[in-house]
Amino acid sequence: MLFFRRPYHLSEDEADRWMRAQAAPLAEHADGVLVSRLQNPAARGGGDWDWLIELECEGVEDAARTARGDVLRSLVADLRLLGMRPSLVLVHGTTPLEG
């Protein structure tokens, strides 16, 4: 999962088009790519928002290989240069709560 801040210098529509174009090459390196806009539920009027790119991979090793790959590393570097504070995390396992 890749979390990052919105690009403040772009309008909402411009940011959406730009982010989807930046994420598109990731589809060649993952089983699926989901791009989501995140919003603070306490914010009124749709204020600030962030982004989440989820990469669906077969297993942990595939996910780690994708995370270390040139395409994702380049995107993270670009987001850093633009001040969008990217944070890349790898979900190693998920366990449902019982009860």
pTM as predicted: 0.85
Report the distance separating Cα 33 and Cα 21, nearest Å.
12
Q: Which of 42, 37, 45, 44 shows the shortest CA–CA distance to 15?
A: 37
Report the distance separating Cα 90 and Cα 82, nearest Å.
23
User: CA dist 65 to 32, 47, 59, 91, Å?
Assistant: 15, 36, 10, 13
Please, what CATH class does the domain formed by 2-88 belong to?
alpha beta
Query: Per-residue pLDDT tens for 34-90?
Result: 999 888 887 776 556 789 999 999 988 899 999 999 999 999 999 999 889 999 998
Q: Where are the domains of the chain?
A: 2-88
Report the distance separating Cα 80 and Cα 53, nearest Å.
15
